[in-house]
């Protein structure tokens, strides 16, 4: 992909670049159609998207962003399928050109990030207020309709926007190239780079204490996993006597008595950073190296799940001051409850399962802070 600066106000949310469609060598009279390479790239993306979709937390389609992830996966499938048909038929028989497919897909995907983020955040904030007594079927239906509207508006605007067509690259050499204008989303670029910088700045004040807190998180996770294997009762009260093998008693961890607890906001941030920093580093490295990523590749489930974790973490942090770890938010790859516990001076005799699955409806003795 070859970048080109955007010069108009209407393109303020996108950055133009070029995708190679055709090239030929006049000296050897060799013609190359790059449609196959675009198809293989889209096919690889769909395969990775499928792996991410099934690897992340279970989908609850009563939430808007969960339905969005399914729609992105389906859109990737159909785009790869159409591109494959265009490649098999060839430019002579195919009714849709490769350039038109890429340009339309680029503009369609580019219009999605901002509405997804806004509607997803509003959904998480107001879910307990307006949707608490609504059936799961109706919530799913509402989210499907909202997703269809977002995609329909994006497709309509991309189809009815100006189509530049193929552009021949000015070259003094013997190799000529036909290029197609596609776009890169500045929303995703700004989001990823800004989030990466914010995470780094957040780590600076607590840099020397982070290893101790990470070890504490690992210890709590090991104890929780042990309880899961033993199939312990999630509703046991604080009179539960732990098995010595769990190693959760304070006398077996004397250093935890004087453990300095991080503030709640940093615990939530740490939970996000430990899981998503590799993705942020990879994305920022591509930006620094000048690797342009068109929107039909940049809008993917990794970015969507990262954004989803950020939004869920923000809402969980805001609501945890009044509800503690009790939350109706969807399950996420970041274990927010255990990072909430990290910031609290909880008695070591408290079973971790009562923090992961607290009884929000009834404030029983199984939940103590």
- 150 and 273 both lie in a single domain: no
Q: Residue 248 has what pLDDT?
A: 45
Pick the last residue of a domain from 185, 206, 223: 185
Q: Residue 42 has what pLDDT?
A: 93
Is the residue at 301 inside a domain? yes
- 155 and 256 both lie in a single domain: no
Distance, CA of 320 to CA of 91 (rounded, Å): 57
Q: Which residues, in sequence order, are bridge partners of residue 181?
A: 18
Q: Residue 268 has what pLDDT?
A: 92
Per-residue pLDDT of 89-128, as tens digits, reads 876 776 777 888 888 898 999 999 999 999 999 999 888 7
- 89 and 124 both lie in a single domain: yes
Question: Are the C-beta atoms of 52 and 73 separated by less than 8 Å?
Answer: no
Distance, CA of 316 to CA of 337 (rounded, Å): 9
Q: Residue 145 has what pLDDT?
A: 96
Q: Residue 21 has what pLDDT?
A: 64
Q: Residue 194 has what pLDDT?
A: 94
Residue 245: both structure tokens together: 């093998």
Which class for 298: exposed (0-12), middle (13-18), buried (19 or more C-beta within 10 A)? Answer: buried
Q: How many domains does the chain have?
A: 2
| Residue with the two structure tokens 């992105």 | 72
- 80 and 105 both lie in a single domain: yes
- 329 and 240 both lie in a single domain: yes
Q: Residue 181 has what pLDDT?
A: 79
| Residue with the two structure tokens 């840099």 | 207
Distance, CA of 230 to CA of 187 (rounded, Å): 46
Question: Are the C-beta atoms of 186 and 14 separated by less than 8 Å?
Answer: yes
- 14 and 103 both lie in a single domain: yes
- 314 and 284 both lie in a single domain: yes
- 299 and 232 both lie in a single domain: yes
| Residue with the two structure tokens 């009834």 | 362
Domain boundaries, position 225: 193-356
- 228 and 324 both lie in a single domain: yes
Distance, CA of 136 to CA of 234 (rounded, Å): 24
- 84 and 207 both lie in a single domain: no
| Regions of the chain short of the pLDDT cut 50 | 2-12, 232, 234-257, 346-355, 358-359, 361-369
The DSSP letter of residue 350 is S
- 109 and 201 both lie in a single domain: no
Q: Residue 32 has what pLDDT?
A: 63
For residue 300, what are the contacts with CB-CB under 8 A and spacing of at least 6? 45, 48, 49, 52, 72, 76
Q: Residue 251 has what pLDDT?
A: 44
Per-residue pLDDT of 3-31, as tens digits, reads 443 334 334 455 665 666 666 665 555 55
Is the residue at 365 inside a domain? no
- 198 to each of 85, 202, 270, 311, 314, how far by Cα in Å? 43, 6, 12, 15, 14
Pick the last residue of a domain from 142, 165, 185: 185
- 110 and 199 both lie in a single domain: no
Is the residue at 361 inside a domain? no
Question: Are the C-beta atoms of 17 and 294 separated by less than 8 Å?
Answer: yes
Is the residue at 362 inside a domain? no
- pTM here is 0.80
Pick the last residue of a domain from 185, 202, 226: 185
């Amino acid at each position: 992909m070859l970048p080109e600066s955007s010069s108009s106000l209407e393109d303020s949310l996108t950055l133009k670049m070029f995708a190679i469609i055709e090239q030929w060598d006049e000296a050897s009279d060799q013609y190359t159609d790059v449609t196959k390479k675009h198809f293989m790239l889209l096919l690889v993306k769909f395969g990775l998207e499928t792996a991410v979709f099934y690897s992340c937390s279970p989908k609850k389609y009563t939430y808007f962003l969960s339905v969005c992830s399914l729609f992105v996966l389906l859109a990737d499938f159909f785009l790869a399928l159409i591109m494959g048909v265009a490649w098999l038929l060839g430019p002579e028989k195919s009714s849709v050109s490769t350039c038109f497919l890429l340009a339309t897909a680029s503009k369609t995907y580019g219009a999605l990030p901002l509405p997804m983020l806004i509607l997803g955040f509003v959904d998480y904030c107001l879910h307990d207020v307006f949707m608490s007594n609504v059936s799961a079927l109706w919530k799913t239906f509402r989210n499907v309709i909202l997703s269809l509207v977002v995609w329909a508006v994006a497709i309509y605007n991309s189809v009815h926007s100006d189509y530049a067509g193929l552009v021949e690259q000015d070259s003094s050499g013997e190799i000529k190239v036909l290029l197609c204008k596609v776009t890169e989303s500045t929303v995703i670029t700004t989001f990823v780079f800004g989030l990466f910088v914010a995470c780094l700045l957040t780590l600076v004040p607590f840099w020397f204490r982070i290893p101790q807190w990470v070890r504490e998180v690992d210890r709590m996770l090991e104890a929780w996993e042990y309880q899961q294997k033993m199939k312990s009762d999630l509703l046991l009260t604080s009179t539960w006597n732990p098995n010595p093998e769990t190693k959760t008693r304070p006398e077996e961890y004397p250093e935890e008595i004087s453990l300095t607890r991080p503030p709640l906001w940093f615990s939530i941030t740490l939970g996000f950073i430990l899981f998503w920093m590799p993705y942020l580093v990879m994305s920022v490295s591509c930006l620094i190296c000048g690797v342009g990523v068109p929107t039909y590749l940049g809008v993917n489930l990794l970015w969507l799940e990262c954004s989803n974790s950020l939004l869920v973490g923000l809402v969980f942090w805001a609501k945890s001051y009044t509800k503690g770890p009790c939350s109706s938010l969807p399950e996420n790859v970041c274990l927010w409850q255990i990072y909430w516990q990290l910031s609290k001076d909880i008695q070591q005799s408290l079973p971790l399962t009562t923090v992961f699955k607290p009884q929000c409806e009834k404030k029983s003795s199984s939940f103590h802070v």
